[in-house]
């Protein structure tokens, strides 16, 4: 299950300074394609389908991005939005309480008045893409020192974003593509009044639990429906997906429109070896540690388990995903294929004198990996909600005093509204969970850096992790949103005068964090410049009809409905609703395989032969969760929610022999809404 909860997702992405770049020529149905550069000839020659500009524009504008790290789509003219339950789980968790556990027990609003407003969701609808490469690259001169290049690039990107926001009112993000070879301006319409309409029980949304995660066959209703509002009324949506009631056929062409989070298919062998031998083992140790900490907290009682469940699910999912990615890199066959591709490219580069700088770029990337290895374990990331809030406030009041070119990019004027929505979220925080996780984070920092390290000495203030965590969480006022607002409004003077222990800690560590950030930013800039040279070499030797690595921006993937062979057994392209009950019977006594009562009561009403989950050869990765799956007519036929185990190395390489994207069928969602949840009023709105 491709889980991309925002806080963890951002932290894991921050562990890598490498920049996404161009990949090689696409094979099979490989590709996460830009909507302004679709593989029309490939679709025509292989599948006999030519997408029209109108088809692509409609699908693009029917697609939605969740700020918590997932994808979605508009499914009605009155603002209904379909995504995964596991993408929605962050909001379900925040809306829940000890008395009303919507994450576990589900929810259905029978009227507009019953719909529950999400505390901090932002949904983005991409409406326009503009190539701004010339303007960005002109601002960075070859003779500039690294620090000046970083500042110049930030300044021009901030200028483009700010001008676009001012002229259009749309969220405006400049996206780095092809490792710095291209820059595109993405304009989004934002929806911040988002309300929960329906969610199934967790036991059917994640039926089979961790045991079935990334496995197949699957039997999951991993779906949730929200509605976006404008001016207090359901939004009027022009572009939304019609709903297909037709069963899919084996071999049928399908399309996936979503926001894949990050791929690194351009990585050089040196970069892959660093990931395999250093970065990923370090990340896995961090994930395993956090998993144990959350499990231990949950064992204290039922309410503790509820409070920890969403974070625990996220960590467990990430741990399993990273294990799969690492397994791919540990496969000699995978590394051999990457080595051969690199050797072929280097041979082509050396044969062209105009590309001499590209050969040097491979050496530069290799040197950067050694420098990154030396920084492992030296980051200062006390990964808790309250410390994150304090750190953000301390940085914000400092950065807003600076000119745009000198700011950290996350504090640009163009992104201020989205930043404040998260910073001032009314979502509940739990002091006991925060204390437990802070103690563990402090302990991990001591282990990584050594207890006598100056940074650790400043952070601990002469106390052990447990006592220091209790002091920090027990004394902070940042649980109160109003207190956060007062500090931000008071600016640098108010933050400097604050005696809130969490603010004091963030202030104390700020200089060290900025020093580490400068080192990683400088490495990222050098790596960006190196990969840009490699990208330009690939454009020249292979042409530009390819796709860039994923950047959590909207892409189109395609493939066919297709089973696969595993361990000598041919797995079917789909499962059925009737098979769900058989799956439960085959796992009697295992708590993750117990269907909710609503499904047991509705068994006689359901069509046992109806397709439930299906697999396809579409090229997806984390971030695609919640992506709509459509047919040639652009009708909704499914909802991406997972990939199989074989798909996990797709971060680095694509192979359609066994890699599969897993979806829940639109037929099954609609059927369950009507016959399990008695939501006929909601069903009547779908696709209309």
Distance, in Å, from the CA atom of 124 to the CA atom of 171, rounded to the nearest integer, reads: 8
According to DSSP, residue 384 is labeled: -
Domain co-membership, 32 together with 113: yes
Q: Over 80: is that where the pLDDT of 671 sits?
A: yes
Domain co-membership, 97 together with 213: yes
Smallest CA-to-CA distance from 222 within 652, 634, 661, 683 is with: 661
Other beta carbons within 10 angstroms of residue 441's beta carbon come to 22
* Residues, the chain: 688
Q: Over 80: is that where the pLDDT of 630 sits?
A: yes
Q: Is residue 490 part of a domain?
A: no
Domain co-membership, 222 together with 352: no
Domain co-membership, 258 together with 277: no
Domain co-membership, 577 together with 635: yes
Banded model confidence at residue 149, pLDDT cuts 50, 70, 90: confident
Q: Is residue 625 part of a domain?
A: yes
Classify residue 61 by burial, with Cβ atoms within 10 Å: 0-12, 13-18, 19+. buried
According to DSSP, residue 78 is labeled: T
| Nearest-10 Cα torsion for 234, 64, 256, 54 | 80
Most distant CA pair in the chain, distance: 73
E-assigned strand segments in 275-371 = none
What per-residue confidence (pLDDT) applies to 15? 39
Cis omega before residue 48 (within 30°)?
no
- Per the structure, how many domains does the chain have? 2
Banded model confidence at residue 533, pLDDT cuts 50, 70, 90: confident
Last residue of one domain, picked from the residues 337, 359, 374: 374
Smallest CA-to-CA distance from 362 within 525, 148, 535 is with: 535
Last residue of one domain, picked from the residues 325, 353, 374: 374
Q: Is residue 595 part of a domain?
A: yes
Residue-number span of the structural domain to which 60 is assigned: 6-122+192-265+549-683
Rounded to a whole number of angstroms, the CA Rg of the chain reads 25
Last residue of one domain, picked from the residues 324, 339, 374: 374
Domain co-membership, 116 together with 23: yes
What per-residue confidence (pLDDT) applies to 13? 38
Domain co-membership, 44 together with 71: yes
Domain co-membership, 43 together with 103: yes
Q: Is residue 383 part of a domain?
A: no
Range scoring the smallest mean pLDDT among 40-49, 103-112, 437-446, 648-657: 648-657
In terms of phi and psi (left: phi > 0; alpha: psi -120 to 50; beta: otherwise), the region of 383 is beta
Kindly report, residue by residue over 269-285, the tens digit of the pLDDT: 999 999 999 999 999 99
Q: Is residue 237 part of a domain?
A: yes
Kindly report, residue by residue over 466-523, the tens digit of the pLDDT: 999 999 999 999 999 999 999 999 999 999 999 999 999 999 999 999 999 999 999 9
Domain co-membership, 633 together with 558: yes
Q: Is residue 367 part of a domain?
A: yes
How would you list the strands of the sheet with 253-258, edge to edge?
Answer: 33-34, 555-560, 253-258, 628-630, 636-643, 661-665, 611-616, 574-576
CATH number, domain containing residue 245: 2.40.10.120
Domain co-membership, 216 together with 329: no
Domain co-membership, 332 together with 206: no
* CB under 8 A, 24+ apart: contacts of 341-346: 341/24, 342/268, 342/269, 345/534, 345/537, 345/538, 345/541
Range scoring the smallest mean pLDDT among 153-167, 283-297, 404-418: 404-418
According to DSSP, residue 632 is labeled: T
Q: Over 50: is that where the pLDDT of 41 sits?
A: yes
Q: Is residue 512 part of a domain?
A: no
Range scoring the smallest mean pLDDT among 50-59, 140-149, 192-201, 471-480: 140-149
Domain co-membership, 233 together with 311: no
Q: Over 60: is that where the pLDDT of 164 sits?
A: yes
What per-residue confidence (pLDDT) applies to 511? 96
Q: Is residue 319 part of a domain?
A: yes
Average pLDDT over residues 114-122: 96
Q: Which two tokens stand for residue 118?
A: 């999400």
Average pLDDT over residues 13-23: 41
């Amino acid at each position: 299950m491709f889980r991309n909860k925002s806080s963890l997702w951002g932290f894991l992405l921050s562990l890598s300074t490498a920049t996404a770049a161009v990949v090689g020529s696409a094979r099979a149905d490989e590709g996460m394609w830009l909507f302004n550069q679709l593989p029309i000839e490939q679709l025509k020659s292989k599948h006999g389908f030519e997408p029209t500009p109108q088809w692509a524009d409609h699908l693009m504008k029917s697609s939605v991005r969740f700020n918590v790290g997932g994808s979605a789509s508009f499914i009605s003219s009155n603002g209904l939005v379909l995504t995964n339950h596991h993408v929605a789980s962050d909001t379900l968790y925040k809306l829940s309480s000890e008395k009303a556990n919507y994450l576990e027990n589900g929810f259905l609003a029978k009227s507009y008045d019953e719909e529950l407003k999400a505390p901090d969701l932002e949904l983005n609808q991409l409406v326009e893409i503009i190539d701004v490469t010339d303007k960005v690259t002109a601002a960075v001169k070859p003779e500039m020192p690294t620090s000046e290049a970083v500042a110049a690039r930030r300044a021009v990107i901030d200028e483009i974003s700010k001008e676009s926001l001012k002229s259009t009112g749309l969220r405006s993000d400049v996206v780095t593509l092809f490792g710095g070879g291209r820059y595109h301006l993405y304009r989004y319409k934002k929806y911040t009044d988002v309300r929960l309409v329906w969610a199934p029980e967790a036991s059917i949304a994640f039926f089979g639990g961790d045991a079935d995660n990334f496995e197949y066959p699957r039997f999951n209703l991993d779906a949730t429906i929200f509605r976006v509002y404008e001016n207090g009324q359901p939004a009027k949506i022009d572009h939304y997906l019609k709903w297909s009631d037709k069963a899919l056929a084996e071999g049928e062409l399908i399309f996936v429109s979503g926001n894949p989070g990050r791929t690194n298919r351009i990585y050089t062998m040196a970069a892959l070896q660093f990931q395999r031998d250093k970065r990923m083992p370090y990340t896995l140790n961090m994930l395993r540690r956090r998993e144990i900490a959350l499990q231990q907290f949950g064992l204290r009682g039922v309410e503790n388990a509820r409070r920890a469940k969403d974070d625990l699910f996220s960590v467990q999912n990430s741990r399993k995903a990273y294990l799969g990615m690492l397994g791919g890199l540990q496969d000699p066959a995978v590394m051999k294929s990457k080595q051969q591709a690199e050797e072929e490219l280097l041979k082509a580069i050396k044969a062209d004198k105009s590309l001499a700088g590209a050969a040097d770029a491979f050496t530069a990337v290799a040197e950067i990996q050694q420098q990154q290895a030396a920084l492992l374990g030296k980051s200062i990331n006390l990964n808790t909600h309250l410390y994150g809030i304090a750190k953000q406030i301390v940085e914000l009041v400092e950065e807003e005093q600076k000119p745009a070119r000198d700011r950290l990019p996350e504090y640009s004027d163009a992104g201020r509204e989205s930043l404040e929505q998260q910073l001032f979220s009314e979502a509940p925080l739990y002091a006991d969970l925060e204390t437990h996780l802070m103690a563990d984070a402090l302990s991990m920092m001591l282990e990584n850096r050594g207890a006598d390290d100056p940074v650790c000495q400043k952070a601990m203030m002469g106390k052990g992790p447990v006592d220091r965590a209790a002091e920090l969480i027990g004394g902070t006022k940042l649980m109160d949103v109003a207190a956060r607002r007062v500090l931000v409004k008071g600016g640098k003077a108010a933050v400097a005068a604050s005696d809130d222990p969490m603010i004091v800690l963030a202030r104390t560590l700020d200089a060290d964090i900025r020093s580490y950030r400068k080192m990683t930013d400088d490495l990222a800039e050098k790596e960006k410049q190196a990969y840009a040279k490699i990208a330009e070499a690939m454009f020249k030797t292979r042409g530009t009809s390819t796709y860039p690595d994923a950047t959590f921006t909207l892409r189109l993937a395609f493939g066919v409905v297709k089973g696969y062979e595993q361990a000598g057994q041919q797995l079917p392209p789909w499962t059925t609703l009737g098979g769900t009950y058989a799956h439960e019977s085959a796992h009697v006594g295992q708590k993750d395989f117990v269907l909710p009562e609503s499904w047991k009561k509705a068994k006689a009403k359901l069509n046992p032969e109806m397709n439930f989950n299906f697999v396809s050869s579409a090229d997806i990765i984390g971030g695609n969760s919640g992506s709509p799956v459509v047919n040639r007519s652009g009708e909704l036929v499914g909802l991406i929610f997972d990939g199989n185990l074989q798909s996990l190395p797709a971060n680095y390489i694509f192979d359609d022999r066994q890699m599969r994207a897993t979806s829940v069928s639109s037929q099954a969602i609609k059927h369950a809404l009507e016959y399990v949840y008695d939501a006929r009023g909601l069903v009547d709105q779908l696709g209309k």
